């Protein structure tokens, strides 16, 4: 059993109100020197069997069709060691 | 300017209804062989200046006090190259 991580983030050109809310709150909370915050989603998938190219292709297809809205979001698929 | 990533996930012993909803939908959508799904949050922070130990300590403090609820969530801080 292996873990594959799918990170889904809004595309850079899409406004991110959640990230902006965090960023604006930081100086008030005493944290300076952070110029931008983007907030996204992280999915940890436990895969049965070997994580070969076919399995990763399936996860990529799954991310593209179901986990991410590719009109406004980018995703990355990584195997976690 | 460097990017630091904070991943926030529910602790393993905490029920994750979002992840469960995704997992249950998978067979219906034609994706088999995925035994567990956990959903969490990913924050990408753009840090001004060098990312040294002091800066990472500040980000860890920020994650602990503000980005994660450490009663039910774990977080990891990583510098992204």
For the segment A6-57, what is each residue's pLDDT rounded down to a tens digit? 999 999 999 999 999 999 999 998 899 999 999 999 999 999 988 999 999 9
Q: Does ipTM surpass 0.85 in this model?
A: yes
The predicted model gives B23-45 an average pLDDT of 94
Which token pair is B73?
């969530």
Residues B40 and B61: their CA atoms lie apart, in Å, by 19
Return the H-helix or E-strand segment holding B30: none
CATH architecture of the region A2-80? 2-Layer Sandwich (3.30)
Confidence class for position B1, pLDDT limits 50, 70, 90: confident
Q: What's the whole-number average pLDDT of chain B?
A: 94
pLDDT at B34: 94
Nearest CA in chain A to B46: A36
A72 CA: distance to closest CA in chain B (Å):
16
Contact B34 A44 (CB under 8 A): no
Contact B46 A55 (CB under 8 A): no
pLDDT at A38: 97
Question: What single string gives the DSSP state of each residue in A9-60?
Answer: EE-TTS--HHHHHHHHHHHHTT--SEEEEEEEEEEEEEESS---HHHHHHHH
Contact A37 B49 (CB under 8 A): no
Contact A38 B38 (CB under 8 A): no
Contact B55 A33 (CB under 8 A): yes
Q: Is the per-residue pLDDT at A1 higher than 90?
A: no
Which token pair is A40?
């996204």
Nearest CA in chain A to B60: A31
Q: Is the per-residue pLDDT at B81 higher than 80?
A: no
A13 CA: distance to closest CA in chain B (Å):
15
Q: Is the per-residue pLDDT at A81 higher than 80?
A: no
């Amino acid at each position: 059993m292996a873990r594959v991580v799918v990170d889904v983030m809004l595309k850079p050109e899409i406004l991110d109100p959640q990230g902006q809310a965090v960023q604006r709150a930081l100086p008030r909370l005493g944290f300076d020197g952070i110029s931008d915050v983007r907030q996204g989603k992280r999915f940890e998938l436990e895969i049965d069997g070997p994580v070969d190219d076919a399995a990763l292709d399936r996860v990529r297809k799954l991310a593209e069709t179901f986990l991410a809205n590719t009109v406004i979001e980018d995703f990355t698929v990584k195997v976690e060691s």
